[in-house]
Structure 1
Amino acid sequence: MKYQYTKEFRHNLVEWFNHEKRDLPWRHTSDPYKIWVSEVMLQQTRVDTVIPYYNRFLEKYPTIHDLAYAPQEELLKMWEGLGYYSRARNLQAGVKEVVEKYNSVVPDNRHDISKLKGVGPYTAGAILSIAYQKPEHAVDGNVMRVLSRVLHIEEDIAQPKTRRVFEEAVEMLIDEQHPGDFNQALMDLGAMICTPTSPKCLLCPVRDYCIAFNEGKADQLPVKSKKVKTKKVQFKVFAAVDEEGRYLIEKRPSEGLLADMWQFPMIEINENSLSEETLQQNYNVEISGYIDKELLEFKHIFSHLTWEMECMQVKVVQKMDLPENVLFLTLEQIRTLPMPVPMLKILNVLN
């Protein structure tokens, strides 16, 4: 785009946004805390999925103080089903920093806000531009897709170093009078019009300034290298019930994937061990019978990993003291605990 068209580009984009923007609950506030919550929830999660979570979350934690000192297990239960649970932990840690270091006021500059736990360049820019009306870049996948086409940028957007190219582009183009609207307009344009496949170019408010459209190359951009194949791991999951109708449940480690979440015992399937024997040895129980050897079978896909799950329901008897962080609980008690989505699938088929 030639520099002399920048003014027209931003005017058309912001005008379009004012008329066509999606009606989303976080767009009815300028509270930086609430905008922060929405931006964290929206990372790697669809808008339609986020809306009910956002509303419930802010009903539970309406102020920054409410979230800062909420019990972590309660917080994880509120987040249950959204996935990527480290987002919730980092959000709480960042909020607590604001309460303790910044007198409960979210910083209004990139230097300070970027120091907060879990706040990366995009989240910082989104909060600063939307809540504080600061002309700061907020570059996500939608923004990179739009600007790669408008400006005909051919750098690989899968490469982390490429992000700076788009940040500089936003800094050049941004509407300094309406930075929040400008950044959100780019996001909405990418979500609604300038989509990954079959972009609706004839409906685009800035197509006159789009190099890729004018050259007939919109469907060739952005350039994005393919991801490395995800690793597959097979597990046998046991819905192990004792004589009192209670199920064996364990808490995952406090570090790593799905930290501090609760699950039914999972045994990785390999050639060197039998899953039933491993269950009995690792959990100090003895299998006394089988209820359903094929209770459930499904896959759960993470960004870098696929779990292939085979679940069976067995009767067990406790032989010795249970290991640390392992309990027998009723289904009613288990339903109060934060559990990852694959475990909820299993829980939902148990009577």
Structure 2
Amino acid sequence: MRFSKTLIQWYLQNKRDLPWRNSTNPYIIWLSEIMLQQTRVAQGLPFFLRFTEAFPTVFDLANASEEQVLKLWQGLGYYSRARNLHKTAKQIAFELKGEFPKTYNDLLQLKGVGEYTAAAIASFAYNENVPVVDGNVFRVLSRYFDIETDIASAGGKKEFTQLASELLPKGKANEFNQAIMEFGALLCVPKNPDCQNCVFNDSCLALQKKKVAQLPVKSKKLKVRHRYFNYLVFSDIDNNTLIHKRTQKGIWHNLYEFPLLETEIIETEENILALIKNQNFIKNSIQNIQLFNPQTIVHKLSHQHLNIKFWKIKVNGKIENGIDWESVKKMPFPIVIFNFISNQ
């Protein structure tokens, strides 16, 4: 089909030189795909390079501690990806003796590997004829063929996967899948694509019908939840502080943080002091309290906006189970807390 042939020609002339494209090693491809989920290439590339240097094989990753993995992942976000990555590495290294499954259906049996990632590994590493369907693919196909099906619906995903499968030239899955994803990332971008210089400007239905900005169709996002975090940065006579690991399920699972007071609204210093006295964070008496950031830090997650304040609290005597700042800096933290620590 002309679409597929033109797309691959465009890709071969315009593709970015990325390290995972120079390899058919399924470990390298799997690692890059997990890292690039919900992450731009420019942001993910430095993390990928650090990871492959620290963990050049799946055995190296499997034998690392979770804290080592989370520390290297720090700043990339969506930390459940890192935890799942580590679990899957152990599965491959210890249960499968380091051998990645070689088919799409077998790859789906790995922990944390869904249809998209399985298709990416199967087609990029083994050239299996399976289509990869991600946000870029939805956008390119919906615009070119003027498809108004909601991409967030189960039926929509099935429809686009079927179409991508029909367009995929047999024996060229690697090139075609890379091409359509790259085209969506570089040219057919979400906002203000350069349609006049597009190789499909004479055949794209959305361009002909002036519907480029309306496609793809996606149902509204979930309502954003606003939360108010007050981090208590205690400091004792030895300048030691207090941290703990977030063990509850939800955001930042198994990352470290300072003692936390979550409130319903932005609270005053007086109310924060009263709340601290009602908790059992420390036994020490408080000398003084100071707000580190008068301007609330708004940290945006996919469905949550965290309104964060750091309270620096000097206490008398020594904190029980206190930790020095050099040790603190070695722990994995959410990036918003890591940035605060870096400014100390």
Indicate whether the TM-score tops 0.5: yes
Residues 75 and 334 of structure 2 are in contact (CA less than 8 Å); yes or no, is this contact kept in structure 1? yes
Gaps of 5+ in 1: 1-6
- Check whether the contact 1:73–1:338 (CA below 8 A) recurs between aligned residues: yes
Q: Does 1:304 align with 2:303?
A: yes
> Does the CA contact (< 8 Å) of 1:291 and 1:314 recur in 2?
yes
Any residues of structure 2 matched to 1:166-177 within 5 Å, and which? 166-177=160-171
Match of 2:214 among 194, 209, 220: 220
Q: Give deviations 1:50-103, integer Å, cap 9, x for gaps.
A: 111100100000001111121111111111111111101111211222223333
Structure 1 residue aligned with 2:276: 279
Q: Using the TM superposition, give the Cα deviation of residue 214 of structure 1 relative to its aligned residue in structure 2, in angstroms.
A: 2.7
Q: Which residue of 2 aligns with 1:21?
A: 15
Q: Which residue in the other structure is 1:64 paired with?
A: 58
- 2:93 counterpart of 1:99: yes
Amino acid aligned to 2:53 = E
Q: Map Cα deviations across residues 217-264 of structure 1 (whole Å, 9 max, x no partner).
A: 222211122212210011211111111001111111163321111111
Q: How does 1:167-316 map to 2 (within 5 A)?
A: 167-253=161-247, 255-270=249-264, 274-280=271-277, 281-290=279-288, 292-295=290-293, 297-316=296-315
Of 107-116 and 266-275, the range deviating more from structure 2: 266-275
> Matched residue of 2:140: which SS?
helix
Distance 1:63 1:345 in 2: 30
Structure with the higher fraction of residues in strand conformation: 1
Give yes or no for the alignment of 1:85 onto 2:79. Answer: yes
Contact preservation (8 Å) 2:291, 2:309: no
Give 1:291 shift: 5.4
Checking the alignment, whether the CA contact within 8 Å between 2:143 and 2:206 is kept in structure 1 is yes
Query: Are the aligned partners of 1:150 and 1:211 in contact in 2 as well (CA < 8 Å)?
Result: yes
**Contact residue 13 and residue 182 of structure 1 kept, 8 A:** yes
What's the secondary structure of 1:117's corresponding residue? coil
Paired residues, what number? Answer: 339
Q: In the alignment, is residue 46 of structure 1 matched against residue 40 of structure 2?
A: yes
Q: Which runs of 5 or more residues in structure 2 are unaligned?
A: none
Distance in structure 2 (CA, Å) of the matches to 1:138 and 1:317: 59
Q: Tell me the CA shift for residue 189 of structure 1.
A: 0.9
Return the letter of the residue paired with 1:198: N
Task: Supply the AA of the counterpart residue of 1:90.
Answer: N
CA distance in 1 between partners of 2:171 and 2:87 (Å): 32
- Counterpart CA distance in 2 for 1:198 and 1:81 is 29
Q: Distance in 2 between matches of 1:13 and 1:209?
A: 13
- TM-score, with structure 1 as normaliser: 0.91
CA distance in 2, matches of 1:101, 1:238: 43
1:147 equivalent in structure 2: 141
> Over residues 132-187 of structure 1, what are the superposed CA-to-partner deviations in whole Å (9 max), with x where a residue is unaligned?
11111111111100000112110112224421111111100012222111111111
The 3-state SS of whatever aligns with 1:308 is: strand
Distance of 1:76 and 1:9 partners within structure 2: 42
Distance in 1 (alpha carbons) for counterparts of 2:316 and 2:293: 20
Following the alignment from structure 1 to structure 2, what is the Cα–Cα distance between the partners of residues 26 and 317? Answer: 54
**AA of the residue aligned to 2:310:** C
Question: What pairs with 1:153-172 in structure 2 (closer than 5 Å)?
Answer: 153-172=147-166
Distance 2:4 2:256 in 1: 48
Contact 1:300 1:308 in 2 (8 A): yes
Which residue of the partner structure matches residue 3 of structure 1?
A: none
Normalising by structure 2, what TM-score?
0.93
Once residues 7 and 220 of structure 2 are traced to their aligned partners in structure 1, the CA distance between those partners, rounded to angstroms, is 31
SS of the equivalent of 2:280 reads helix
Percent sequence identity over matched residues?
38
* Alpha carbons 2:285, 2:315 under 8 Å: kept: yes
How many angstroms does 1:319 deviate by?
Answer: 8.4
Equivalent residues of 1:113, 1:124 under 8 A apart? yes
Q: Distance in 2 between matches of 1:162 and 1:207?
A: 25
Q: Secondary structure at the match of 1:338?
A: coil
